[in-house]
Amino acid sequence: MPTYRAVEVTGARRFDLVRRELREPSAGEVRLRVESCGVCHSDMLAVEGLRADPALPRVPGHEIVGVIDAVGPGVRRWRAGDRVGVGFLNGHCGECDQCRRGDFVNCTDQPLTGTTVDGGYAEVAYARGSGLVRVPDGLPAVEAAPLLCAGLTTLKALQRSGARPGALVAVQGIGGLGHLGLQYAARLGFRVAAIARGTAKEELARRLGADHYIDSTATDPAAALRELGGADAIVATASDGASMAALVPGLAPRGHMVVVGAAPDPISVGAADLIFGTRTISGGLTGTPVENEDNLAFGEHHGVRPMTEVMPLEQAPEAYARMMSGQARFRVVLDTAA
């Protein structure tokens, strides 16, 4: 049988580069040859053994760009040769209550790419046809891959915030999510404030589109936001619940903070900070495949691009460690095609 290379994990951080037998796609599924796969913080669910059965080998990775080479029974929209992407959600079922109400992101029968089904740390990947995203030919794979998850997440957070054109929008954290959030916010026409620790990233933040820079080590960031008139929206990307909570008083009346950074600690907020000002805090996961196509088209047209560090597939353990170290600038991508 023909084989392909894949990087499996078992337990916690036990990586193995293996050869797997190629199989035909199942009903409703396609097979694609992977060009690139981004390394995302959410890969820790598989790599750190936080899934249901860590003893079962799993291929991580959910920012996949590739070309379809086989189509399973029942797939009508997609053809061999189509260039597609796969994000964190591997394809909605179309039948559960959430799907019947049009809420495909919260489908209750949806595989999670690289966590409950195998992902993109491999030369070949499989996905439901309902989870595929068409990738523009003009967008290189190593640039498109991070936009499928990190890009879509920050764009949807900005859209979900309800901020009006020209409003002050703050992006907390200038990392894998935040450096894309600044670009989207600027290109959507908001007045953008970047919030980070120290001054080392100020020049970069302004180059990415920030109108204002707030050093959270030198000033109270909520007070700084109030001095600017209050933020209609805050996109919180830093994985620190305490730092997120400190921003809430900086929201303008009816302001909305959308949390996209997965912090291990709780966000503790005083009731008065929510009640007086009618402020809102919500979580943001991702978007649907067709919204992701809109995201890629917007990014291609307006020049939203991730800053990447590119590594070959066989260096997946090093790529993951680099991402987890927080030292990457800013997205690590596995270039399988190379």
pLDDT in tens, 58-95: 999 999 999 999 999 999 999 999 999 999 999 999 99
pLDDT (0 to 100) of residue 31: 98
How far is Cα 86 from Cα 88, in angstroms, rounded to an integer? 7
Give the helix/strand (H/E) hosting 203: helix 202-208
The answer to whether residue 205 sits within a structural domain is: yes
The answer to whether residue 299 sits within a structural domain is: no
The answer to whether residue 295 sits within a structural domain is: no
Tell me the pLDDT of the chain averaged across its residues. 97
136-177 pLDDT, tens per residue? 999 999 999 999 999 999 999 999 999 999 999 999 999 999
pLDDT (0 to 100) of residue 338: 76
Check pLDDT > 90 for residue 1: no
The answer to whether residue 16 sits within a structural domain is: yes
One domain for residues 125 and 167: no
- The rounded percent of the chain whose pLDDT value lies above 70 is 100
Between the alpha carbon of residue 227 and those of residues 4, 154, 244, 251, 278, the distances in Å are: 57, 25, 18, 11, 19
Confidence band of 184 (pLDDT split at 50, 70, 90): very high
Check pLDDT > 90 for residue 308: yes
Q: Determine the average pLDDT of the residues in 18-45.
A: 97
Check pLDDT > 90 for residue 12: yes
pLDDT (0 to 100) of residue 45: 96
One domain for residues 164 and 270: yes
One domain for residues 68 and 7: yes
The answer to whether residue 116 sits within a structural domain is: yes
Q: Determine the average pLDDT of the residues in 34-53.
A: 96
Strands (E), the chain: 3-10, 14-21, 29-39, 63-71, 83-86, 124-128, 132-134, 168-172, 191-196, 212-215, 231-236, 251-259, 280-283, 308-311, 331-335
pLDDT (0 to 100) of residue 239: 87
What residues make up the domain containing 25?
Answer: 3-135+307-335
One domain for residues 313 and 205: no
The answer to whether residue 217 sits within a structural domain is: yes
Check pLDDT > 90 for residue 337: no
Q: Determine the average pLDDT of the residues in 20-30.
A: 97
One domain for residues 119 and 166: no
One domain for residues 35 and 95: yes
Beta carbons of 308 and 333 less than 8 angstroms apart: yes
Between the alpha carbon of residue 206 and those of residues 95, 186, 199, 276, 297, the distances in Å are: 46, 10, 12, 32, 24
pLDDT (0 to 100) of residue 93: 97
One domain for residues 9 and 121: yes
One domain for residues 116 and 213: no
